[in-house]
Amino acid sequence: MNWSGADCIEMRDCLDKMSALTQPRERRASMPLSGAQRKHFEKRLLDERARALRVLNRSVAEQSDGDEQDRSSDLTSMPLHMADLGTDTMQQELDASNATRVSRELAEIDAALERLYQTPKKFGICEDTGKNIPLARLEVIPWARTCEDAEK
């Protein structure tokens, strides 16, 4: 898969947000979400949803472009070498695994949007402990259902 400039920028933004999680616990914000914060996370979820859909659509488009010969970059109709078949099979399995992961992520994002719309006052509250999910965690994973304590 080729990385575009936008993909690299998204990755850099994600890494910056992840670094916020390495701060000491007492420096992280943990408070009930205001209306403005909920709007912010709604936008983040919609942006993440659009990103996930782009990735899935690109994956589907790559799989549907041409036949097996075209996808393997084989210019002849001669039988493929076994090693080439193995490499192609591994790539197909990796692509399928990534598509499954992104599909699950998309389902989590949709569930988070539903929670945000159905019970906005409960958004950002850990489903296991009832504690507030830290803002830094929601910035990295806006569809998070649990806080760090619940995952331990």
Residue 14: give its domain's CATH number.
1.20.120.910
Measured in residues, the chain has a length of: 152
Closest CA to 30 of 113, 121, 125, 140: 125
Q: Average pLDDT, stretch 108-135?
A: 93
In contact, 116 and 134? CB cutoff 8 Å: no
Instruction: Give the range of the structural domain holding residue 121, as residue numbers without chain letter.
Output: 5-73+80-151
> Residue 33: its pLDDT value, please?
84
Output the 3-class SS for 8-35.
HHHHHHHHHHHHHCCCCHHHCCCCCCCH
Show the DSSP H helices in the chain as ranges.
5-20, 35-64, 68-71, 82-118, 135-140, 148-151
Q: Give the count of domains, the chain.
A: 1
pLDDT tens for residues 60-119?
787 776 555 555 555 554 556 666 667 777 887 887 888 889 999 999 999 999 999 999
